[in-house]
Structure 1
């Protein structure tokens, strides 16, 4: 109840101050004088001076030092301007957001994503969203490495949940992920037995080079035991679909996502091995900076993703 009374007092105080006087004072404070403020507000300098003088009389506080040569803020004026600016800025944002809420989203959204993640989950969602919002535009830029969204001019990113930086807002999207070890039946028919991850050392493996230059280590887990394995082979690629292609052609073992290998497992082109050692893990997330202004288009897309 006390808070309601305080808010009512604030309303009465603000309503007693003509908006033109506040606008005149803030413009003078921002431009450091009446002439610059007059150009901004398209009023005469004398009219603005009269408005600020009226504000000072109502508040019973001197806000400006005036002389024939310049105008400067008093200590009270500096304090008042510093407190008003954020509030006025919030009012402006509220008006902008309200206007955007009542308009069909038409903005361009730039998304940075891993290529496989975009193909598996993001593209089907985007095509559905665009059916309901045909004026929206998207640009998808794929990178293996994690990039700085602000530096790259991106609205959001799409990556495995474990890769999302802590200072981002993340929305989980899609099913759990799973990396598995696969090979062709022809290769397995004449290769050494493969019962545990340590047996991989006896096998030829298609290897993936990461953006850092390192060869990706295969990760395994079973009943709380987690290990990473260095592989060996004479085929190194920088795109995971080439790993799949190598396995299909009978080169050796490949470490790929179940989603990527699904159809080949179903038709018998590939066989999964070390099944107990490759459990699923957290899926993909769309993420964006916590403190960035959200456009109408981005807001509509986020609402769609949460519903989907």
Structure 2
């Protein structure tokens, strides 16, 4: 059952009016400056004094002065109110043009592959925006940790986020080195993986990722085993090239190794297609201009078809 409550009257109510009266030593001149009536000014000051619990002004028919309490209140309230006004101007500026600190949470491997080409042109186009890159594979709460946006694989982006594609969809494929297949037969079915050394990666949640496949339109997941567990795809790619075991990787990441003959693809008919890499951010009604500028910058560039980094 909800309890009845009242909203406390704002501590700043009436402060601007008091400061104007104290500056001009006149209710009438303060009223003219604020665009209200003298009686409204007088009533506002009375309410402020009642809330504080002390008389702030000495009123006579000829003049207005400050009490000792009024002098002390003025000495603290005036600089504080000026700071508040200045803070409002700063915030207003950030709300009207691309400026300020833009914080992005991204996987480490994204920076040289997807972000560097974007950042060079973005920073040149928007010199008043400072971009901070927090490189980590950990999946975080953007709002709770003070980030404006993040970059991840599509399947790791929460449904309540707004997502902007940075790459086209691509397949997850299983690869191994020629040296590995010189000592092991090639798997023909997903069940054959039980007989193979498979490289695994541990999610930021701590769980070991299952290998995903598409079996005649049906999504299946398989728990594999092997000699090595890693925390990112680039390390897994290097281990596969060295012949330590089979790896399931984003196809664009393995493209160079396949083209150079350092890797061989297997189980091709079972490779699932994933959405790709996305820039994502909370779905707010009002987006700060700095983030809107970065989103538009991403959209203005063609989606990358090159190597796709570890973006879990």
TM over 0.5: yes
Decide which of 217, 222, 225 is 1:224's aligned counterpart.
Answer: 217
Q: Is the 8 A contact 2:103 2:146 kept in 1?
A: yes
1:221 is paired with a residue of what secondary structure? strand
Q: Return the structure number with greater helix share.
A: 1
Aligned residue number for residue 37 of structure 2: 54
1:278 aligned residue? 271
1:96 aligns with 2:92: yes
The reply to whether residue 179 of structure 1 matches residue 172 of structure 2 is yes
- Matched with 2:102 is 109
CA distance in 2: counterparts of 1:106 and 1:301, whole angstroms: 11
3-state SS of 2:262 partner: coil
Residues 202, 209 of structure 2: 8 Å contact kept: yes
Aligned length: 253
Q: Distance in 2 between matches of 1:41 and 1:267?
A: 80
* Alignment-derived partner of residue 238 in structure 1: 231
Distance 1:205 1:305 in 2: 36
Contact 2:201 2:232 in 1 (8 A): yes
Change (3 A) 1:259 1:42: farther
Q: Are 1:190 and 2:183 counterparts?
A: yes
Distance 2:22 2:289 in 1: 30
Q: Is the 8 A contact 2:166 2:278 kept in 1?
A: yes
What's the offset of the Cα at 1:193? 3.6
What is the distance in 2 between the residues matched to 1:67 and 1:139? Answer: 46
Q: Which residue of 1 aligns with 2:50?
A: 70
Which residue of 248, 253, 261 corresponds with 2:246?
253
Q: Report how far residue 223 of structure 1 moved.
A: 2.6
SS in 1 for 2:207: coil
Rounded Cα–Cα distance in structure 2 between residues aligned with 1:124 and 1:294: 24
The residue number in structure 2 matching 1:264 is: 257
CA contact (8 A) 1:207 1:216 kept: yes
5+ residue gaps, structure 1, are: 1-27, 58-62, 73-91
- Measure how far apart 1:119 and its partner are: 4.1
Classify 1:117/1:41 alpha carbon distance in 2 versus 1 (closer, same or farther; 3 Å): farther
Residue 78 of structure 2: aligned partner: none
Contact 1:64 1:71 in 2 (8 A): no
SS in 1 for 2:109: helix
Instruction: Give TM-score scaled by structure 2 length.
Output: 0.68
Match in the other structure for 2:119: 126
Which residue of the partner structure matches residue 8 of structure 1? none
**Partner Cα distance (2:93, 2:287) in 1:** 9
**Residues 108, 136 of structure 2: 8 Å contact kept:** yes
RMSD value over aligned CA atoms?
A: 3.5
Pair 1:39 & 2:22 matched: no
- Tell whether the 8 Å contact from 2:193 to 2:224 is kept in structure 1 after alignment: yes
Q: Distance in 2 between matches of 1:49 and 1:285?
A: 55
C-alpha separation in 2, matches of 1:128 and 1:110? 17
Residue by residue, what CA displacement relative to the aligned partner does 1:21-48 show, whole Å, maximum 9, x if unpaired?
Answer: xxxxxxx976344x55433898557255
Deviations 1:213-252 (A, max 9, x none): 2221100013311111111112112222111111111111
The answer to whether the Cα contact below 8 Å between 1:121 and 1:174 also exists between their aligned partners in 2 is no
2:198 to 200, 205, 218: 205
Deviation at 1:66, TM superposition (A): 5.0
CA separation in 2, counterparts of 1:224 and 1:126?
Answer: 39
